[in-house]
Amino acid sequence: EPEVTQTPSHQVTQMGQEVILRCVPISNHLYFYWYRQILGQKVEFLVSFYNNEISEKSEIFDDQFSVERPDGSNFTLKIRSTKLEDSAMYFCASRPPGQIVHGYTFGSGTRLTVV
Amino acid sequence: EDQVTQSPEALRLQEGESSSLNCSYTVSGLRGLFWYRQDPGKGPEFLFTLYSAGEEKEKERLKATLTKKESFLHITAPKPEDSATYLCAVQAIGRANNLFFGTGTRLTVIP
């Protein structure tokens, strides 16, 4: 069964550093997303991406964050000047065009730890 | 404002003891309600999408139902491998494509 692949699975970074989280969505999917989950809290929407541009973003997704689809397969989330409160699981998700009946497919996540 | 409330927060069942998880939602216009399963340290795994009141979907020991205000996930004769956190999420009409999640119900099935 097709999967959304995320790398790395765990990233430790020093406060103030920049990190790039990488995702390979399912090949025929056209809608891409980033979500995050702080330990013990709910999964929160960050940003959606379609047709090479951001289609929606949450209040969390401020100037510290950016997304990019640098080639036909990868989808990245860049976090600049990381803060302690950025520590969380970051999930990439994708879905095909049309009906949402098949839901969104999530990757296994990247655990980001800011020290 | 969109709201999703799941109850109970945690549920312990004996193997074979059927029960239901609740998801209450408030949304301006419902495009779809989703159920996901999440294992520790993993991403959410899609289970069901429900669109309109009265709809039901089944998969193995799980059955999801939807009313205008809430959804139930019924678990019949659960097994230890059903232990996980079950997440409910809604997608609202006019809010592009993002999902709004509840905090989940952590289910433990004891052999």
The DSSP annotation for B15-60 comes to: TT--EEEEEEEE-SSEEEEEEEEE-TTS--EEEEEE-STT-EEEET
- Residue A34 has a pLDDT of 97
- Residue B78, chain A, CB below 8 Å: the answer is no
Asked if B46 and A50 come within 8 Å (Cβ–Cβ), the reply is no
| Residue written as token pair 């301006």 | B28
- Residue A102, chain B, CB below 8 Å: the answer is yes
- Residue B1 has a pLDDT of 76
- The average pLDDT across A93-100 equals 82
- Residue B86, chain A, CB below 8 Å: the answer is no
- Residue B96 has a pLDDT of 61
- List chain B residues with pLDDT less than 70: 96-97
Whether the link from the prior residue into A70 is cis, omega within 30° of 0, is: no
Instruction: Summarize pLDDT for B5-16 with one digit per residue, the tens.
Output: 999 999 999 999
Residues B110/B45, Cβ–Cβ less than 8 Å = no
Tell me the nearest-neighbour CA distance from B53 into chain A, angstroms: 15
Q: Give the CA distances from residue A109 to residues A44, A66, B19, B25, in Å, rounded to whole numbers and listed in that order.
A: 13, 17, 30, 26
Asked if B45 and A31 come within 8 Å (Cβ–Cβ), the reply is no
Instruction: Summarize pLDDT for A4-41 with one digit per residue, the tens.
Output: 999 999 999 999 999 999 999 998 888 999 999 999 89
